[in-house]
Amino acid sequence: MGYATAAAAADAGHEVTIVSGPVSLSPPENVTVIHVESAQQMFDSVAHRIGSVDVAIMTAAVADYRPATIAAEKIKKSGDTVILTLEKTQDILGSARTTFGFRGLLVGFAAETTDVEINALNKLARKGCNMIIANDVSRPGIGFDSDQNAVTIFFADGRSHEIAVTTKLAIGSEIIRLVEKETSSLQLHDGSK
């Protein structure tokens, strides 16, 4: 969804930068791609760049936890079980308004498997988003590992907009259309509309 939305934004004439983890996709044409390999690198890259953009669309399904320690060498087999301790990663979307001080249009994604609307609305409020795009990733044939998706877009003012199953590029184009409509009423960081 991230690459499809970035392609739609570039096609609409916007300057686009993607901060991308490892993927098997070719990047869209006419976009700048910053490659990262870890949740921490993505956090740092977004923190460094977000102050210079008017719209931040955060689609990545970043790991919520990472190993607390990383072995310098191979862990040898020594017993029947191994205890792995995990620690929380930094919340990139949740840091946009607070830690990063972002004042532009903030769009998040909520990939859910249960209580999709409730969880998405909760995330919208908690993270300070203007819009959140929710999809049920438990549905077969859409979402992850598919060129198809179906989403519901929730707005901070209580509106919603549903997009039935279609291509990710078509959904990305509709997201960009709605983002453009929303930004027309916002004062952006450079003083323009």
Q: From first to last of its 193 residues, what are the pLDDT tens digits of the chain? A: 999 999 999 999 999 999 999 999 999 999 999 999 999 999 999 999 999 999 999 998 888 899 999 889 998 888 889 888 999 999 999 999 999 999 999 999 999 989 999 999 999 999 999 999 999 888 888 878 788 999 999 999 999 999 999 999 999 999 999 999 999 876 554 443 3
Burial 163-174 (b: 16+ CB within 10 A, else e): beebebbebbbb
Residue 155 belongs to a domain: yes
Residue 73 belongs to a domain: no
pLDDT score of 187: 57
Domain residue limits at 85: 2-64+80-183
Residue 129 belongs to a domain: yes
CATH code of the domain covering residue 12: 3.40.50.10300
What total of structural domains would you count in the chain? 1
- Decide: pTM greater than 0.75: yes
pLDDT score of 193: 36
Residue 121 belongs to a domain: yes
pLDDT score of 77: 87
Its sign, for the CA torsion 37, 39, 41, 45, is positive
29: CB partners within 8 A, 6+ apart: 7, 10
Residue 11 belongs to a domain: yes
What does the DSSP 8-state code read for residue 96? T
Residue 191 belongs to a domain: no
